[in-house]
Amino acid sequence: MARIVGAITTSHVPAIGGAIARGLQQEPYWKPFFDGFQAVHRWLQKIRPDVVVVFYNDHGLNFFLDKMPTFAVGAADDYRYADEGWGIPAMFPAFPGQVQLSWHLIESLVRDEFDVTTCQEMLVDHAFAVPMALLWPAAATWPVKTVPIAINTVQHPLPSAARCFKLGQAVGRAIDTFPEDLKVVVVGSGGLSHQLEGPRAGFINKEFDLMCMEKLVGDPVALTRYSNVQLVDLAGSQGVEILMWLAARGALTGDVSSVHSNYHIPISNTASGLMVMENHSVLARGRLDAVLEASDGRPGHR
């Protein structure tokens, strides 16, 4: 059976893609942000996942206001990046899809009464491409296959925090029943607190962000009690992207531990959050320890 080995949550600010394109990773402004990913790279090298399921929000590239699905799942052979207006060059190789897992997720989600949009052709924007580039920098070809799951955070009404958490739970159950032996990492792309427009442009709520990062590990259900209006008030109009983090956390089906976290402000007027959480189900725990011991002779973080 497939198994979820962990989740990664990360910001996806378009300016990050521009910094990567211009080679600014070691510039003083950017270095604290990019250095936060070194531990993530080491973890991925140990785990060596086969598939990444990315919860992200489309910014008007693949979907626009006239046709905006609440939840959309990619079921394509590959996904190509296109710039939706930020000026990030087309520097990302095509992202290979895991079509069999995509269809398994779609069928399972529909059985669980999630009315998802199935996308057999799909473009992806910075919210998908930037996290992938941060996790596998300078990749000529991607070492994993991908399944994109888009969540509407643009056109009201938005799905609630509780609904997105339940979506993640349904995805986690579906992955656990996929018959192929795959190691899966789920990614939640977006946030944390930020607002790009209006009188509160540049708004950051560090206290709320750090609380969310703490609760995400040990008490994610507490975060599902916030309404979207409350999330916008506390985290800014774009801070509602925490919905993707909740979906990724919901997909973890076992005991969860924190491997790494980093919080840095500001990045392009945005609070940048990064977390790695391991998923310890009864069966996966032993398999994961074996992977880690084989890689460097010591058990993983607990």
Q: Which residues are catalytic?
A: 126, 194
Sheet with 183-189, side-by-side order of all strands: 117-119, 71-74, 145-151, 51-56, 183-189, 3-10, 270-280, 255-267
Q: Which residues pair with 7 in a beta bridge?
A: 186, 277
- Identify whether the C-beta of residue 81 lies closer than 8 Å to the C-beta of residue 139: no
Q: How many angstroms separate the CA atoms of 16 and 14, rounded? A: 5
Neighbours of 40 (CB within 10 A): 19
* All residues at 6 or more sequence positions from 93 whose CB lies less than 8 Å from its CB, including other chains: 139, 140, 141, 142
Residue 95 vs residues 90, 143, 167: alpha-carbon distances, Å: 12, 10, 23
Q: How many angstroms separate the CA atoms of 262 and 284, rounded? A: 26
* All residues at 6 or more sequence positions from 132 whose CB lies less than 8 Å from its CB, including other chains: 52, 54, 92, 95, 139, 142, 146
Q: How many angstroms separate the CA atoms of 273 and 194, rounded? A: 11
Q: Which two tokens stand for residue 282?
A: 């009864």
